Amino acid sequence: MTDAEITAHIGLVHLCAGRLRARGIPYEELCSAGNLGLCKAARGFDPARGCAFATYAVPVILGEMRRLFRDGGGVRISRGMQERAAHAKKAAESLRQKHHREPTVGEIAAVTGESESDTAEALCAAQPLVPMDAEESRCAEIPVPSPEQAITEHLALRQALGLLAPADRDLIALRYEYGMTQSAAAERLHMTQVQVSRRERKILQFLRTELS
């Protein structure tokens, strides 16, 4: 994955950190561990498996965060990773001064001699911890619905899904329960990706109308 694609999924880190923030580990430490998890997920993700990246990444991100609880808190970075992080950070700064812009992960990797995925992981490790108040002012809080609200919404969704034709329920299940890409779902349903995309839009519009 490119650095832009990795950055586009940074919200997954904050979502996972929001789930675990009340358990004794500071939010910024959870995010630091989550950043490492996101990079590991990007390095290990294989689109051929037929699942969405978010479906694959969330367990990896949560795994890195839960490691903090097992280790008693604090993001522990190995000496080798610290050296790689320093090297990547130095290369990034050199490229920044040379080109007067933020360098891409690929450009930094070309200087360090590391792969793009290893470079991305090193750059994540090099990120300083952000104070919680600054982090919270920069990132919107993720609202957590009450149990009653969650149950009501779940029942309403089940009722709306029950109004769909069996083939449409299968499509939604493949896309949102099993996390398949449109291409993988199309192959399973003997449809084209374009057909799946068009049908999915119509189904989602129907569900929004029913639930509004």
**What secondary structure letter does DSSP report for 25?**
S
Q: What is the DSSP letter of 46?
A: -
Looking at residue 78, its pLDDT comes to: 59
pLDDT at 125: 58
The verdict on pTM exceeding 0.75 is: no
pLDDT at 157: 76
In angstroms, what CA-CA distances link 202 with 6, 109, 168, 181, 208?
A: 29, 43, 10, 17, 10
- Taking the alpha carbons of 36, 38, 40, 43 in that order, is the dihedral positive or negative? negative
pLDDT of residue 117: 65
Q: Could you list the pLDDT tens digit for every one of the 212 residues in the chain?
A: 666 677 778 888 888 888 777 677 888 888 888 888 888 888 888 888 777 788 788 888 888 888 887 765 544 555 676 777 788 888 888 888 888 887 787 788 888 888 776 777 676 655 554 443 444 434 334 344 444 455 556 667 777 788 889 999 999 989 888 888 999 999 999 999 999 999 999 999 888 887 76
The segment(s) of the chain belonging to CATH 1.10.10.10 are 147-211
CATH class of 147-211: mainly alpha
Q: What is the 3-state secondary structure (H, E, C) of 119-156?
A: HHHHHHHHCCCCCHHHHHHHCCCCCCCCHHHHHHHHHH
